[in-house]
Every structure is written in C-alpha cells, then in structure tokens.
C-alpha cells in the first residue's frame, strides 16, 4: 500500500524524489476489473470559471508529456470523503448497498451543512504516486469536514487518508506509463516557481455522488446535494 503524506510539502518532496509511479491500471478507477463498477463519495465539483480556466492552463502544460493522461473537465473535483463500492450484496469492508449509501447520505446532512460556506484557494501543482494534482488551501475546512464525517458515519469504511491529516486536492492527470517521469518533474518544478497560488472561490455546496468506473475517467451521478448554511 502506498505510504501517504501528511503535508503538502511532504507530498511534493516525495514526488520529486520518486523513481516510479502508480499507473492507472493499479488505481481506483480500474477496480471494475474485480467486478465492482460503482463507487460513492462526497465531493465538491469545480464549477468556478476562474478555477476551471486555471486548471485547464496547467493541464495544457503537461498534457503532451509521455505517460501523462489528463482527466476531462467533467471529472475535476475535491473529494471530501470516500464512502465505498456500491453493490447489491456487500461482502467486503469497503462495500455498501444502495440502501446503506442513502442512509449514510441522510446521516451526513447535518455534518456537512452546519460547516457553512468556506473559501478555497488553488495552490501549486504537485503529485501523488498515482496522480498529478493541484493543492487545495482552505484553512482546514475540507479536512475538518472529512474528520466529522469519519466520526459520524460509523457504517462507512475508514481510509488511510481520512482524518485530520486529510490533504484536499484536485486530481488533474493520471499515469499510463513511467516514460515521462523526469520531464514531468521538471515541468512541475517550473510551474511551482511560476504559480505559487491560483484563483480563490467560495464552496457553498457538497454533493454525494455515485461514480461509474470504467477504463476512461469515471463519470458521476448526483445522489444528494448539501447547501452549506451560513451560521
């Protein structure tokens, strides 16, 4: 299992020193090969025009590097809490029935809505072993929401990334090979020097989605929406 970083600086240091990558064939999106094609999660979809333009500009700088497979704009999001694979008859710890997902969605409403709207600033580009990502700086708002959901949703799986060290981010590309790793590192270092921070926007809604996993990037169906209330 991939060792996780507890800070963005640690994540960047590890990626900069990495000699290998976790390819898309080994990542969550390809779990369909084990017969599981649906996954539920809470997330923030990136709808702000300035944020979307910024993400597109970063992708334009890396899209032609060998082995880099950009995600389409329909996939851009900030994960708040992964729930698990949706199956008719759960048999494993990371599986939930549609009824359980609906129940967890109802349990989550107060935790999410009581958090209130919060500001997000897109930070510099970086990487995890499985993706190129943009840091999300929010004064701990998403991590706090993740921790609250982890405590409240006792029927949901707890992942290694859950809790107070949760690093919110926007995944923008995955890896189909390791051929361009050195070029990618150089490009990301240049981008980090040029762009210490991107645009800011206000998050006012979180969604519970069901992702349809496939060889291409997952697509999402919204199961529930949560408007963040001002206190």
Query: For 35-56, what is the mean pLDDT?
Result: 95
| Structural domain contains residue 3 | no
| Structural domain contains residue 199 | yes
Provide the number of structural domains found in the chain. Answer: 1
| Structural domain contains residue 13 | yes
Higher pLDDT residue, 181 or 3?
Answer: 181
| Structural domain contains residue 198 | yes
Q: What is the pLDDT of residue 30?
A: 56
Which CATH number covers residue 61?
3.90.1140.10
Higher pLDDT residue, 35 or 65?
Answer: 65
Q: Is the pLDDT of residue 150 over 70?
A: yes
pTM: 0.93
Q: Residue 157's pLDDT band (boundaries 50, 70, 90)?
A: very high
Name the percent of the chain lying above pLDDT 70. Answer: 93
| Structural domain contains residue 119 | yes
| Structural domain contains residue 95 | yes
| Structural domain contains residue 2 | no
pLDDT digits (tens, 9 = 90+) for 75-120: 999 999 999 999 999 999 999 999 999 999 999 999 999 999 999 9
CA neighbor of 45 nearest in space, from 231, 221, 182: 221
Question: Domain range holding 42?
Answer: 8-227
């Amino acid at each position: 299992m991939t060792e996780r970083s507890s800070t963005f600086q640690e994540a960047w240091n590890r990626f900069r020193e990495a000699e290998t990558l976790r390819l898309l064939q080994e990542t969550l999106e390809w779990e369909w090969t084990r017969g599981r094609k649906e996954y539920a999660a809470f997330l923030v979809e990136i709808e702000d025009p300035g944020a979307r333009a910024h993400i597109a500009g970063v992708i334009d700088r890396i899209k032609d590097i060998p082995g880099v497979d950009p995600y389409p704009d329909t996939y851009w999001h900030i994960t708040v809490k992964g729930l698990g694979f949706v199956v008719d008859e759960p048999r494993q710890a990371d599986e939930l029935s549609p009824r359980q997902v609906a129940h967890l969605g109802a349990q989550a409403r107060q935790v999410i809505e009581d958090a209130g709207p919060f500001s997000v600033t897109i930070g510099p580009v970086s990487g995890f072993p499985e993706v190129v990502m943009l840091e999300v700086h929010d004064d701990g708002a998403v991590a706090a929401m993740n921790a609250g959901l982890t405590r409240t949703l006792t029927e949901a799986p707890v992942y290694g990334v859950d809790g107070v060290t949760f690093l919110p981010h926007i995944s923008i590309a995955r890896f189909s090979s390791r051929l361009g790793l050195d070029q990618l590192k150089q490009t990301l270092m240049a981008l980090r020097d040029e762009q210490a921070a991107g645009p800011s926007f206000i998050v006012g809604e979180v969604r519970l989605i069901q992702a349809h996993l496939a060889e291409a990037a997952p697509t999402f169906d919204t199961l529930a929406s949560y408007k963040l209330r001002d206190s």
